[in-house]
């Protein structure tokens, strides 16, 4: 089955490809492959709403079954921030590294036992049968007091999974993909496709 992974985030694309290629069910296309340059504003108030906005928009443009993901980091001591604003936290002109520094600064006085956080991944599929499909995966962990590692993307250098002293950015992609929020949401999504006899 040919599907579109509707994101331009290179880190996400790599992880989707690594996880989905193991299943050998899909021929994966990206927005770049289809030369789609249009952008859509994420005006929703939840991960689900934003994922659906993106999946619907790019399914209409591509006419291909489309998977879109809205994901982010929710930090308890910052009242769930950056949440749905993870990709644009602190302003659209900041780099991933600037955002990591911003979080470390905001949390500089927060003690170790109050640094709990989770990554959230919500997938929306449009064009797989007549229903819009959703799945959600979460990874519990905590925010470290300094950056560690250079793999991955986004907030990986300051996020350690629960029971692990090392951040996600110290792990190889296949190690991260065994436990990640994205892995969980993809597995749940695939199980829905199998249950509904779509694949
Ligand atoms: P969006 O889903 O494209 O709106 O962006 C999600 C943002 O959340 C990314 O740009 C990252 O900043 C952050 N994020 C989501 N998943 C991860 C992850 O696996 N590692 C690190 N940061 C992530």
The predicted model gives 149-173 an average pLDDT of 97
Rounded distance, CA 120 to CA 184, Å? Answer: 10
The ligand 1 atom nearest the CA atom of 152:
20
What tens digit of pLDDT does each residue of 34-58 get?
999 999 999 999 999 999 999 999 9
Average pLDDT, the chain: 97
Residue 154 CA, ligand 1 centroid: distance in Å: 6
What tens digit of pLDDT does each residue of 67-83 get?
999 999 999 999 999 99
Backbone φ and ψ of 135, nearest 5°: -150, 155
Residue 125 CA, ligand 1 centroid: distance in Å: 18
Give the DSSP letter string of 63-98: -S-EEEEEEEEEEGGGTT-BGGGGGGTT-TT--HHH
Helix (H) or strand (E) holding 138: strand 133-143
Q: Which of 33, 39, 70, 164 is catalytic?
A: 70
Q: How far apart are the first and last CA of the chain?
A: 8
Model pTM above 0.95: yes
Count: domains in the chain = 1
Mutate to test the pocket of ligand 1, among 31, 72, 84, 122 (most ligand atoms within 8 A of CB): 72
- Determine whether the shortest distance from the Cβ of 153 to ligand 1 is under 6 A: yes
Residue 54 CA, ligand 1 centroid: distance in Å: 15
The predicted model gives 145-162 an average pLDDT of 98
What's the pLDDT score for residue 133? 98
- Determine whether the shortest distance from the Cβ of 161 to ligand 1 is under 6 A: no
- Provide the Cα torsion 162, 171, 137, 26; round to 10°: -160
What's the pLDDT score for residue 149? 98
Rounded distance, CA 27 to CA 64, Å? Answer: 11
What tens digit of pLDDT does each residue of 92-135 get?
999 999 999 999 999 999 999 999 999 999 999 999 999 999 99
What tens digit of pLDDT does each residue of 99-108 get?
999 999 999 9
What's the pLDDT score for residue 23? 86
CATH number, domain containing residue 40: 3.90.950.10
Range of the domain at 142: 2-195
Residue 70 is a catalytic residue: yes
């Amino acid at each position: 089955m040919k599907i579109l992974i509707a994101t331009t985030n290179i880190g996400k694309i790599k992880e989707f490809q690594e996880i989905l290629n193991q299943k050998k069910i899909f021929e994966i296309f990206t927005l770049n492959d289809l030369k789609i340059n249009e952008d859509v504003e994420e005006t929703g108030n939840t991960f689900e709403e934003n994922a659906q906005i993106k999946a619907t928009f790019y399914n209409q443009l591509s006419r291909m079954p489309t998977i879109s993901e809205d994901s982010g980091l929710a930090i308890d001591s910052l009242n769930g921030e950056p949440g749905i604003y993870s990709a644009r936290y602190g302003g659209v002109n900041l780099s991933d590294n600037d955002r990591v520094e911003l979080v470390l600064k905001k949390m500089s006085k927060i003690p170790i036992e109050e640094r709990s956080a989770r990554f959230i991944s919500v997938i929306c599929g449009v064009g797989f049968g007549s229903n819009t499909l959703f799945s959600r995966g979460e990874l519990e962990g905590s925010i470290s007091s300094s950056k560690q590692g250079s793999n991955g993307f986004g907030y990986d250098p300051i996020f350690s999974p629960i029971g692990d002293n090392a951040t996600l950015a110290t792990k190889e992609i296949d190690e991260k993909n065994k436990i990640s929020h994205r892995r969980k949401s993809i597995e749940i999504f695939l199980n829905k496709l199998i249950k509904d006899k779509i694949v």
